[in-house]
Amino acid sequence: MQHASKNQHPCGKCAFYSGSIWQPVAGDAVSVLTRGFTRNDLQEGQSLYQQGAESNGVFCVSKGLIALRTHHEDGSSTLLRLAYPGDVIGYRAFLGNRPHQTEAIALLPSRVCTVARRGANQIILANPDVLARLAERCIDEIDNNHAQIIASATTSNRQRLKNLMLFLMEKHGEPVSSGFQMHLPLSRSDLADLLGVQPETLSRLIGRLECDNFFTIKGRKVLMAGLAPQSMKSA
């Protein structure tokens, strides 16, 4: 019956099915899940939800890249996090039953699956395993936050940019004859927001890394020469 239920499960064909927070849903609840379930394709730049908007469910990134950003009173903004396929977003507003504190915008053409609020609530009440998986995601988020707080307190901006570029190369890069290459999914301002520095500073940091032959960058084309696949993980 495992097979039959996986076929009926709306996430059954998803690459992230086994790790999905909805994977424990079975039996009659599957139909509730299916009713609340929608798939959404987002164009680059399109918004999934706005800061301050009411929560209308829980989102799961299936393809692409979503940026979570908060706008401050003074007009500036901070890019808090990048959400990759398999990541669950929007659960804070859902669990806390309150407006979104961040806005979600697609940085690449993306696909996002939504489980509407009503159905999600119903399912969680009936199936605690779903809540347990959601709690695990919260823990992961806390871990990431702590890592970020520690990094910004103990690591130079230059090193943090290096780490960020290596991370992005790992996610978006392709091997070419002379190393690895990627199309940078972020603008300079986004990179600056992510590191918590001004755009001018970011520009200079990039300049310095280029001087060090860490990479070559022109527009959004980034090339890291002499980068062996395994060395991406280490630094």
Residues near DNA (CB under 7 A): 156-158, 187-189, 196-207, 217
- Nearer to a copy of itself (CB atom), residue 40 or residue 129: 129
159 belongs to the binding site for a copy of itself (CB under 8 A)? no
Count interface residues toward a copy of itself (CB under 8 A): 32
Residue 202 Cβ vs a copy of itself, minimum distance, rounded to whole Å: 13
How far, in Å, CA of 77 to CA of 95, rounded? Answer: 24
235 belongs to the binding site for a copy of itself (CB under 8 A)? no
Query: Which one of the spans 4-12, 30-38, 150-158, 204-212 is the region binding a copy of itself (CB under 8 A)?
Result: 150-158
- Nearer to DNA (CB atom), residue 6 or residue 188: 188
Task: Enumerate the β-bridge partners of residue 74.
Answer: none
Which one of a copy of itself, DNA, none is in contact with 188 (Cβ closer than 5 to 8 A by kind)? DNA
- Nearer to DNA (CB atom), residue 39 or residue 221: 221
Residue 186 Cβ vs DNA, minimum distance, rounded to whole Å: 8
Which one of a copy of itself, DNA, none is in contact with 134 (Cβ closer than 5 to 8 A by kind)? a copy of itself
Find the binder of a copy of itself among 135, 176, 228, 235 (CB under 8 A).
Answer: 135
Residue numbers 179-208 binding a copy of itself by CB under 8 A = 193, 196
What DSSP line would sit under the chain, residue for residue?
Answer: -HHHHHHHSTTTTSTTGGG-TTTT--TTHHHHHHHHEEEEEE-TT-EEE-TTPPP-EEEEEEES-EEEEEE-TTS-EEEEEEE-TT-EESHHHHHHTS--SSEEEESSSEEEEEEEHHHHHHHHHH-HHHHHHHHHHHHHHHHHHHHHHHHHHHS-HHHHHHHHHHHHHHHH-EEETTEEEEE--S-HHHHHHHHTS-HHHHHHHHHHHHHTTS-EEETTEEEEET--TTHHHH-
- Nearer to a copy of itself (CB atom), residue 155 or residue 213: 155
User: What is the Cα 135 distance to its own chain's centre?
Assistant: 17
Which one of a copy of itself, DNA, none is in contact with 118 (Cβ closer than 5 to 8 A by kind)? none
Q: Which residues contact a copy of itself by CB under 8 A?
A: 70, 72, 74, 76, 78, 80, 92, 95-96, 101, 125, 128, 131-132, 134-136, 138-139, 141-143, 145-146, 148-150, 152-154, 193, 196
